[in-house]
Amino acid sequence: MQQANPIMLSFILRRVLYTVPIMLGVSLVCFALVHISPGDPLVSILPPDASVELQEQMMAIYGFDKSYPEQFLRWLGLALQGDLGNSIASGRPVASEVLNAVGNTLVLAVTATIIGFTLGGLFGFVAGYFRDSWIDKLATAISVVGVSVPHYWLGMVMVIIFSVELRWLPATGAGPGGSSQWVWDWEHMQYLILPAVTMSVIPMGIVARTVRALVADILQQEFVSGLRAKGLLDRGVLAHVIKNAAPTALAVMGLQLGYLLGGSILIETVFSWPGTGFLLGQAIFQRDLPLLQGTILVLAMFFVILNLLVDVAQTSLDPRLQRG
Amino acid sequence: MAVTADTVAHLATIEKSQGYWRSVWTRFLRDKVAVCAGLVAAGLVLMAVFAPWIAPANPLDGSMIKRLSPIGTEGYPLGADELGRDMLSRLIYGARLSLFMGVVPVLIAFTIGAAIGIAAGYLGGWVNTITMRVLDVLYAFPSVLLAIAISGALGAGILNGLLSLTVVFIPPIARVAESVTTSVRKLEYIEAAQASGASSLRIVRDHVLGNVLGPIFVYATSLISVSMILAAGLSFLGLGVSPPNAEWGLMLNTLRNAIYVQPWLAALPGVMIFLTSISFNMLSDGLRSAMDVKQ
């Protein structure tokens, strides 16, 4: 890589600084979640016949007797120290529950992104290269199906085909050891196949669409005809096309990973995959607001940071900015 | 003088738009895929409207002995669900709530988002900066997560579901509206209208709206497909529509336990969600190329 130039550095610095108010805003939204929910937040903790003194005591412990700005600052301060409160249902710290689950969600989302990116990139590339051929039409159809299919239903259909009818793969869970002991062996990986393949359909459709448009666009640019005129063979042209399409395609992949991390709740529910989505499902089902709030905060922060990384990576890969 | 300039610009937009819509329609009709998708979507809407006349049975009437009857049972062409209710009738009636939950949030978000985006784009300056930065915060959430966060906090219910989906779709629509309006605002004829003394409100109404609503609308239609999947997804999680209502996502949820008994029956509601989502998606694609909107 070339030496970073001042323009690029200042862009990156501004981009990093810009993330601070966004993170603050995101945490404000997460804080507000508990307060838009109807009903007294203490109802689920206290027994119905709790005395007034006990109620007031609990209000003070949880800080509900303070004003909203005070509560927000207190909550934010604790969250920055890694304290997201305790789950109402299990009584355990939310932070450790989320941390346990995040690993499993990452395993699922990263695998799905890799499958989706590889297949989508391939389909999109072939479609863009042989534009308007039958391959193009097929790839376009696949990408439309990919973005239109309700993935939770696709997950059910996969379970019906491969678990119920064929009995090839397990339907739910993450293998022996449950949620805490993920290992990359067949014993565990067979549980990953169905949810990961189901999940990969979303980025596949979007990546295929993007790459197709990119490739078709690049092939129409003058430098390609220039390369061809110079007598460069198809394979050489191909390398140039890949080089030019890669930064955008990788950026799309990064964003898709973020969407999958945040949007995995439906697929994790279908497959009972012990990740953050499953945790969210439980939080909703049991109206465990601290757990809901904490999980959403962590996932949204992941998304913000991933967005930042994608932007920075894309800037440093952009040849126009590298030259200054 | 001022009046003339304004009137000429006004007439020019009107004449352009009439010819434009005719050519959009002709181009749309030439697109076979889009026409087919449009017909399917129209069929689904008709099915929702005329559900009481089409459906063979009451979608809420169950029969304990008919529970989970397979597809093709006499009197139950598509089988019966876990409470012995006629599947075909529930799928037909399900179109009502499912389409409502999928389309209405996009419509409301289109109205609010377009208003915010056009105002921010036309006014520019600090109004623009503040509005867009606030929207950036909501944009910083993955859409599924934001929808689930809000309706998870608010609890189940049709209204809460509608509200959370609307909040999810306002930022992207406002963003598109802002960028389209900003580019239109810099065009010369707007400058001409401003120079001729037309008020901001009048310029927006007469010259800006006609040029920006099309692209914003096309973008909003592309969100209907996402909204359908998300809305049904909320009900699938136990948020959104509650039992015993017929709604496709909720039906998938309650039939999920029957997956080992009647697997293909359990998958039926998803077929309807898929069909709706894909037809709206292709309809929107066709609309975009017919209107020649670049995104």
Rounded mean pLDDT of B225-246?
A: 89
The pLDDT of residue A4 is: 59
> Is B44 inside any structural domain?
yes
> Is B11 inside any structural domain?
no
pTM here?
0.85
pLDDT at B16 over 70: no
> Is B2 inside any structural domain?
no
Residue A280 and residue B148: Cβ atoms within 8 Å? yes
Each residue of B204-215: pLDDT tens digit?
Answer: 777 788 888 888
Each residue of B83-94: pLDDT tens digit?
Answer: 778 888 889 998
Residue A286: closest CA among B155, B146, B244, B256: B155
Q: Does B33 touch chain A (CB under 8 A)?
A: no
What does the DSSP 8-state code read for residue B207?
I
Closest-approach residue (CA) in chain A for B224: A148
How many helices, marked H, and strands, marked E, lie in chain B?
A: 12, 0
Each residue of B120-165: pLDDT tens digit?
Answer: 988 888 988 899 889 988 888 888 899 998 998 888 889 999 999 9
User: Structure tokens of B123?
Assistant: 């006014």
Each residue of A220-232: pLDDT tens digit?
Answer: 777 777 777 776 6
pLDDT at B258 over 70: yes
Q: Does B169 touch chain A (CB under 8 A)?
A: no
> Is B20 inside any structural domain?
no
Nearest to B273 among A150, A165, A284 (CB): A150
> Is B249 inside any structural domain?
yes
Distance CA(B98)–CA(B158), nearest Å, equals 11
Residue A153 and residue B270: Cβ atoms within 8 Å? yes
Each domain of chain A, given as residue ranges in start order, spans: 4-323
> Is B43 inside any structural domain?
yes
Closest-approach residue (CA) in chain A for B270: A153
Distance CA(A206)–CA(A243), nearest Å, equals 20
At A44, the pLDDT band (50, 70, 90 cuts) reads low
> Is B55 inside any structural domain?
yes
In CATH, what is the architecture of A4-323? Orthogonal Bundle (1.10)
pLDDT at B3 over 60: no
Q: How many C-beta atoms lie closer than 10 Å to residue A108's C-beta? A: 29
* Maximum average pLDDT range among A34-43, B59-68, B153-162, B285-294: B153-162
- Judging contacts by C-beta atoms under 8 Å, the chain A residues touching residue B234 are none
**Structural domain count of chain B:** 1
pLDDT at B14 over 60: no
The pLDDT of residue A272 is: 86
Nearest to B266 among A156, A292, A300 (CB): A156
> Is B278 inside any structural domain?
yes
Share of chain A above pLDDT 90, in %: 8
A57-73 burial code (b ≥16 CB/10 A, e <16): ebeeebebeeeeeebbe
What is the domain-level CATH number for residue B120? 1.10.3720.10
Each residue of A57-78: pLDDT tens digit?
Answer: 777 776 677 777 888 888 888 8
Domain of residue B128: give its range: 27-59+66-290
